[in-house]
């Protein structure tokens, strides 16, 4: 059984159908209901973590209409996981190898 959605008239306070554009009791035009906020789970951050920039783009495309800031964060994380983190890891590994073979520190 589906639940009937209702709202209250902005003029007379009568309970009316949520889709009503005009109150049947007083005849005043009703403002549409605000768009429901869609919350996405933080598990979306795992997509760019494992897939890099491709995951960031996928997350951005899927979430951009609901939560622009989270979509942007996913894209930034995808870029970081693709470019910045590997460069840092390479530099750390290079410094470690250089210290083993050439005694540099």
DSSP string for residues in 28-60: PBPPPPPPPPPPPPGGGGHHHHHHTHHHHHHHH
**69 by DSSP, 3-state: which?**
helix
pTM to 2 decimals?
A: 0.56
Q: Token pair of 11, please?
A: 């003029």
pLDDT at 1 over 60: no
pLDDT at 2 over 60: no
Shared domain check, 74 and 98 = yes
Euclidean distance between CA atoms 68 and 87, whole angstroms = 28
Are the beta carbons of 16 and 23 closer than 8 angstroms?
A: yes
Euclidean distance between CA atoms 49 and 45, whole angstroms = 6
Shared domain check, 95 and 50 = yes
Domain interval for residue 68:
42-105
Shared domain check, 30 and 49 = no
- Tens digit of pLDDT for each residue in 70-86? 999 999 999 999 999 99
pLDDT at 102: 83
Shared domain check, 14 and 47 = no
Total domains, the chain: 2
Shared domain check, 30 and 46 = no
Shared domain check, 99 and 55 = yes
Shared domain check, 55 and 24 = no
Shared domain check, 49 and 26 = no
């Amino acid at each position: 059984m589906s639940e009937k959605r209702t709202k209250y008239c902005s003029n007379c306070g009568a309970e009316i159908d949520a889709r009503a554009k005009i109150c049947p009791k007083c005849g005043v035009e009703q403002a549409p209901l605000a768009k429901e906020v869609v919350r996405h789970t933080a598990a979306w951050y795992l997509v760019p973590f494992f897939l890099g920039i491709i995951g960031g783009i996928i997350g951005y495309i899927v979430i951009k209409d609901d939560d622009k800031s989270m979509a942007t964060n996913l894209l930034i994380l995808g870029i970081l996981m693709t470019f910045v983190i590997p460069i840092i890891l390479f530099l750390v590994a290079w410094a470690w190898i250089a210290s083993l073979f050439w005694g540099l520190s």
